[in-house]
Amino acid sequence: MPALHTLFLEAISEERAHSVSRRTLFGSGAKLVAGGAVAMAAVASPAFARVAAAQDFSNDIDVLNYALTLEHLEYAFYRDGLASFSAGLFEDGVYDNLVDIRDHEDAHVVALVDTIVSLGGTPVAEAVYDFGYQNVAGFLSVAAALENTGVSAYDGAAAAIENVDLLNAAGTIVAVEARHASYLNFVNGDDPFPSAFETPLTPTQVLEIATPFFVQ
Amino acid sequence: MTQSKALAYHQSLTGALEQAQWQSLTRRGALRTAVVAAGGATVMLTGPALIGYRSAMAQDFAGPVDVLNYALTLEHLEYTFYRTFNQQFSGMELEMAGFASIVRTRLESIEAHELAHVDVLTDVIGQLGGTATTEMMYSFGVTDVASYVATAGVLENLGTGAYTGAAQFLIDNDDLLTAALTIHGVEARHASYLNVLNGTSPFPEAFETALTPAQVLEAATPLIVGAMPDTGTGSTANDGGTSLGILAAAGAMGIGAAALAARRRESRSDEQAMPAGV
């Protein structure tokens, strides 16, 4: 059987190329946000180059720990950030939504840890992070970068999951990450949905974005 | 592709749905219960482990073409919806209804996305040797800007749930799965934004509720009123319809009709309350 889905990928790639060039024509190119996730999505990443995930993970526990690494990062980011800024510093309603996002990330961490343990694996622990923001504006900018990267990370890793239940579960998480990303783009004054298609990122690409946040 | 095949596809969907709708008549009050049951799967995620969550419908699709046609059915619906009402309601009318001027741009952007999804899915189905389902005639029950935006929110949340529930059927096709997820994420982004416009939480749960094809089709089928005329140039019906389908869709998401109406009333100026420059 010929490579059936290469056709799909090419078709989508073509669509993406169109939408990227249309955006450029309208002069509303993606803003550079902290971490450069959006820039990467729009420019650097070969959108549907075959996702390298399959050989990046040796089993489902690896994939789950990869997801958990990002969820720890996100949860710690909101937990600490919301503890350091008062609600009054945000536009109306934004703080409450950030609290919801924080709680979602916490729920994702708990679910992933439980699952890894139940599969006989060892969940990665939370690390020490430095997100480098100085104020609420910087905090919101990093938040958007984290969420957009999270969506791309899940999209890039999902194909490596072998267990259908785990795939379903990942699907229920990535949609919520995309909802967060949309909202945070919106709050930052950016396009909530800058492309007709998400950009899957390989673990290597994601770790390039995320590594600077880790304090060694 | 032939019109008759497309029609046959929809008829098979409708047939599958008649049963579901018949059942829903007898358990209309219990529709929420059904959703709670579906939501229960999600609740399990927060329990001991992600393992154990499985949609019961693994046998719903004979192969990837069927899965993609399922997605395409929804994308046609969505694209036609935005095309119709972006044409019907001017930017001025949106502003008169209390929405910031950027909202018009966003709705046009969503329309363009849905068209891109339609085009890609149609292409791929053809390349896979399948017959892509075509645009039908729909009745959305939209009467004004507020109901346009409220219905858009229902459709996007429904679409997100549909992709969430169907992605598993592509597990044997890594690239198709990945591609489907790249659409899934964008539907979720649309849903989030439209929830903001409608004055509800952009992300009401920590885990998306996966909807089964039966649940989705139960909600969507009442919106499909028939095949396009053979000329292929017929306009889309959107008048004279009822909101039944939308209410069913809302029900499938646990949103009561009263809440939907409340949303419509509240769908003023939410974006205006947001940071400048949006």
Boundaries of every domain in chain B: 3-272
pLDDT band at B230 (very low <50, low <70, confident <90, very high): low
Based on its alpha-carbon atoms, the radius of gyration of chain A, rounded to whole angstroms, reads 17
DSSP notation for A68-104? HHHHHHHHHHHHHHHHHS-GGGS-TTHHHHHHHHHHH
B206: nearest CB among A154, A174, A176: A176
Given an 8 Å threshold on Cβ–Cβ distance, is B58 in contact with A164? yes
* A183/B203 touch (CB, cutoff 8 Å), yes or no: yes
Residue to test with chain A: of B50, B57, B168, most A Cβ within 10 A: B50
Ramachandran quadrant class, A46 (left: phi over 0; alpha: psi -120 to 50; beta: rest): beta
The pair of structure tokens assigned to B201 is: 């939480």
A19 to A12, A45, B26: CA distances (angstroms):
10, 15, 47
pLDDT above 70 as % of chain B: 61
On whether the CB atoms of residues A148 and A37 are closer than 8 A, the answer is yes
- Higher per-residue pLDDT: B130 or B41: B130
Report the mean per-residue pLDDT for chain B: 73
Asked if B124 lies within 8 A of A158 by C-beta distance, the reply is no
Interval B30-79: pLDDT, tens: 223 233 333 333 323 332 234 333 333 445 788 999 999 999 999 999 99
Is the model's pLDDT at B93 over the cut of 70?
yes
**Domain A4-213: CATH architecture, name and number where available:** Up-down Bundle (1.20)
Nearest-Cα residue of chain B relative to residue A202: B178
CB contact under 8 A, B175 and A155: no
What pLDDT score does B16 carry? 38
Where are the strands (E) in B74-154, listed by range? 136-138
Residue A112 at interface with chain B, using a CB cutoff of 8 Å: yes
What percent of chain B shows pLDDT beyond 90?
56
pTM: 0.74
Q: For residue B224, what are the β-bridge partners? A: B138
- Of B185-189, B208-212, B247-251, B266-270, which range is least confident? B266-270
* Token output for A131: 């997100």
Distance CA B198, CA B185 (A): 20
pLDDT of residue B217: 87
What's the confidence (pLDDT) of residue B59? 55
More confident call, B249 vs B26: B249
* Residue B182, min C-alpha distance to chain A (Å): 4
C-beta separation of A183 from B203 below 8 A:
yes
- Tens digits of residue pLDDT in B9-24: 333 333 433 333 333 3
CB contact under 8 A, A104 and B171: no
Taking CB atoms and an 8 Å limit, are B185 and A6 in contact across chains?
no
Q: Give the pLDDT mean for B130-137.
A: 96
Instruction: Kindly indicate the confidence band of residue B228, based on its pLDDT and cuts at 50, 70 and 90.
Output: confident
- Cα B17 to its chain centre, rounded Å, is 16
Which mean pLDDT values do the consecutive 10-residue runs of chain A (216 residues) have? 36 44 31 32 31 68 96 98 97 97 98 96 96 97 98 96 96 98 98 97 92 88
Q: Which of A4, A91, A193 sits opposite B128 (nearest CB)?
A: A4
Interface test with B, best of A90, A168, A190, A199 (most B CBs within 10 A): A168
Residue B91's pLDDT band (cuts 50, 70, 90): very high
Indicate yes or no: CB of B52 within 8 angstroms of CB of A165.
yes
Domain coordinates in residue numbering, chain A: 4-213
